[in-house]
Structure 1
Amino acid sequence: MNVRRRLISGSTALTITALGLGALSACSSADASGTRGGGTYDVVASFYPMAFLAERIGGSHVHVTSLTTPGQEPHDLEISAKQTVELEKSDAVLYLKGLQPSVDSAVAQSGVRTKIDAASLTTLEEHGTEVDGHAEEHDAHHDEEHGGKDPHVWLDPVRYAQIAEGVGKAFEKGDPDHAADYRKNTKALVEQLGELNARYETGLKDTRSKVFITTHAAFGYLAERYGLTQEAINGLDPESEPSAARVKDLQETAKADGVTTVFYETLVSDKTAKTLAKDAHLRTDVLDPLEGITDKSRGTDYFQVMDANLKALQQALGAE
């Protein structure tokens, strides 16, 4: 058990803290409940969308630590030695294979009892940018790291719900003493995601345009789910730079499809988006890929930010 976990009884906790911390720290095998020593279920999450699921499903029974700090671009994460130790001491790790290579490597080498790969709980597809030689070069790099699959599944409420169901079952198996609560919490979360999906379906059903431009090609699943077309300035790498030919193509697309807005995100520079918008006489707005929550986010959790994204899309696309 990780010594930072909360223990159940107040007086017992004091006694254990005074007399048995060394024994608890040295404990390497899980007890019948799935936790090491009977404390809360200790979950390490790779980044915000995974941490959100763990917290909502686990409730008071879990202690969740995220490897990616607020404001940090998750694609660029390099795990520290301290985080590696933290990972090794956890009861479970929840990550999305293919998004963060350093996490994938650390998880593969760890002895964590329960390893939950969100990518295995739904279906991943290829979403690219129809572009010139520059972007094709980027896509080749992406294929090497991610197997050609787009990892941004959490932006589709339906796929995210599928992942939530799988996480719930993994928690039930890993910590059976609290299985009933995990089932209850999972059901409530899945229902809430269903309601979010319904809001998107209704809100984006009748729009003047179906095309939106964004800096980061993170919204392929969302676009596919709601009958939209994503045109990305960059590819799946938010830091890549577009070629002059790509910028020209986007200007022509904007004019032909009645695009009004170029979207950018909060965790990377908005310079490219604003330059394209200025040249094409378009406005700019935020479409948040929800890779992390910061004080700049339009909400404090997944649902609030997704609702803010819906409003931004409705305005940009001319929803009726």
Structure 2
Amino acid sequence: MKYWNRSLTVLSLSVMLIVAGCGSNASTGNNAAGSNAAGNNTAANNGESAAPGASPTTPVKETLEIRTSFYPMYEFTRHVAGDLAHVENLVPAGMEPHDWEPTAQDMASISKADVLIYNGAGMEGWVDQVVDSATGTGLKSVEASHGIEIMEGAEEESEHGEETHEDGEHAHDEGEHEESGHDHDHGGLDPHVWLSPALAIQEVRNIEKGLSEAAPQYKEQFKTNADAYVSELEALDKEYAEALKDSKRKDFITQHAAFGYLAKEYGLTQVPIAGLSPEQEPSAAQMAGIVKFAKEHNVKTIFFETLVSSKVADTIAKEIGAKSAVLNPIEGLTDDEIAAGLDYIGVMHQNLEALKAALNE
């Protein structure tokens, strides 16, 4: 990658500072744990917290420095960490995270952290080199998707709908991945586990475990915080299950193949126009296949997403006399969404309303 030579130099220069003062990072900012911002965000306390049960003379690090890879990881982490950490997101607001790579400044920021939390499953192509380079610095890395069964990415076919898996994923030919270039960024795996509320709960629990290992003195507080947020996610999961179980139709067309886990969880079938990369341009044959599928199945809504162009979805919608609408993969919030006070659960409620409307037309 174009940044690695200078990035690794910055990281190497930071090692001595980290070894000498890994425990000295403390925030002096006001509490911003409730922030809903999506990029370069922070959730910090004022440095006054003390570990439960610690004596006044016990040297305890009061505030963890945490870096998160992109918005869902930031959102989950800030709920678990509460006011016990300074949480900063790496991918800026409004930026599509699939192809984001850390700059030298980002590397320096990571080098100052106690914990790096990332999704995994191929979402962050840069993370392995960062983690390997940080060996010996005291940086703890937490893979939020650890232990979750990761699905292969959906391979879009020229004739959509001819064959689907029972789990809601569209059928694909594994042998075509390399030739077509699909799923290149993710190694053929679908990383979008956070779009299933049930799997988001597992990610939150993995984050809780990682933070408890990094700061065991706060284990009980992390659990309390995680329990509270998991209750909200469980309610969201129940809403989805109840709202979608009796839908008139079970298939939906989306521009980006990001909703496989959501489809599987609630008995739906995702029919993607493009692959896992949102910049993937479908071929003429793929476009024709989608148009044919939409006409045969009387599809009246074509979903597109935030952060990327809706041109392809709009073109297909116009061709079949349908409308286009947003189904948000929540890979990052836009400035407008931040200004509106939206967060993961808020956007997931919007997604549910959009699905309910499209599946019952």
TM-score range, shorter chain: 0.7 to 0.9
Q: Cα gap change, 1:144/1:2 in structure 2, threshold over 3 Å: closer, same or farther?
A: farther
Instruction: Considering fraction of residues, name the structure with more helix.
Output: 1
Structure 1 residue ranges without an equivalent (≥5): 9-35
Question: TM-score with structure 2 length normalisation?
Answer: 0.75
Shift of 1:138: 6.6
Q: Cα gap change, 1:288/1:7 in structure 2, threshold over 3 Å: closer, same or farther?
A: closer
* Whole-Å separation in 1 of the counterparts to 2:227 and 2:221: 10
1:49 is aligned to 2:89: no
Shift of 1:260: 1.2
Q: Deviations over 1:213-242 (max 9, x none)?
A: 111000000011111111111100100111
Q: Cα gap change, 1:245/1:308 in structure 2, threshold over 3 Å: closer, same or farther?
A: same
> In structure 1, what residue type is equivalent to 2:149?
T
Q: Cα gap change, 1:262/1:144 in structure 2, threshold over 3 Å: closer, same or farther?
A: closer
Q: Cα gap change, 1:142/1:95 in structure 2, threshold over 3 Å: closer, same or farther?
A: farther
Cα RMSD (Å) of the superposition? 2.3
Shift of 1:114: 1.3
SS in structure 2 of the partner of residue 119 of structure 1:
coil
Identity fraction in percent? 38
Alignment match, 1:78: 101
Instruction: Tell me, yes or no, if the aligned pair for 2:153 and 2:275 is still in contact at 8 Å.
Output: no
Map 1:127-206 onto structure 2 (within 5 A). Answer: 127-132=153-158, 136=176, 141-142=181-182, 145-206=185-246
1:212 is aligned to 2:238: no
> In structure 1, what residue type is equivalent to 2:27?
R
Shift of 1:68: 0.3
Given candidates 299, 305, 310, the residue that maps to 2:347 is 305
* Whole-Å separation in 2 of the counterparts to 1:78 and 1:65: 16
* Whole-Å separation in 1 of the counterparts to 2:102 and 2:352: 33
Q: Deviations over 1:273-297 (max 9, x none)?
A: 1011101111010000000112343
1:252 is aligned to 2:278: no
Bigger shift: residues 84-93 or 111-120: 111-120
Alignment match, 1:25: none
Shift of 1:307: 0.3
> In structure 2, what residue type is equivalent to 1:242?
P
SS in structure 2 of the partner of residue 279 of structure 1:
helix
Alignment match, 1:26: none
Q: Deviations over 1:81-104 (max 9, x none)?
A: 011011011010001221121233
Instruction: Tell me, yes or no, if the aligned pair for 1:209 and 1:258 is still in contact at 8 Å.
Output: no
Instruction: Tell me, yes or no, if the aligned pair for 1:93 and 1:115 is still in contact at 8 Å.
Output: yes
> In structure 2, what residue type is equivalent to 1:305?
V
1:269 is aligned to 2:309: yes
SS in structure 1 of the partner of residue 126 of structure 2:
helix
Given candidates 94, 101, 112, the residue that maps to 1:89 is 112
Q: Deviations over 1:134-186 (max 9, x none)?
A: x9457864555433210000001111101111111111111112111100011
Q: Deviations over 1:82-132 (max 9, x none)?
A: 110110110100012211212332223223431101231422111313414
1:102 is aligned to 2:126: yes
Q: Cα gap change, 1:143/1:243 in structure 2, threshold over 3 Å: closer, same or farther?
A: closer
Instruction: Tell me, yes or no, if the aligned pair for 2:156 and 2:273 is still in contact at 8 Å.
Output: no
Alignment match, 2:358: 316
Instruction: Tell me, yes or no, if the aligned pair for 2:303 and 2:313 is still in contact at 8 Å.
Output: yes
Instruction: Tell me, yes or no, if the aligned pair for 1:6 and 1:40 is still in contact at 8 Å.
Output: no
> In structure 2, what residue type is equivalent to 1:102?
W
Given candidates 70, 76, 81, the residue that maps to 1:58 is 81
1:290 is aligned to 2:330: yes
Q: Cα gap change, 1:169/1:137 in structure 2, threshold over 3 Å: closer, same or farther?
A: closer
Aligned residues: 291
Instruction: Tell me, yes or no, if the aligned pair for 1:89 and 1:112 is still in contact at 8 Å.
Output: no
Question: TM-score with structure 1 length normalisation?
Answer: 0.85
SS in structure 2 of the partner of residue 167 of structure 1:
helix
* Whole-Å separation in 2 of the counterparts to 1:66 and 1:75: 15
> In structure 2, what residue type is equivalent to 1:116?
V
Q: Deviations over 1:6-58 (max 9, x none)?
A: 399xxxxxxxxxxxxxxxxxxxxxxxxxxx97231111000001001110000
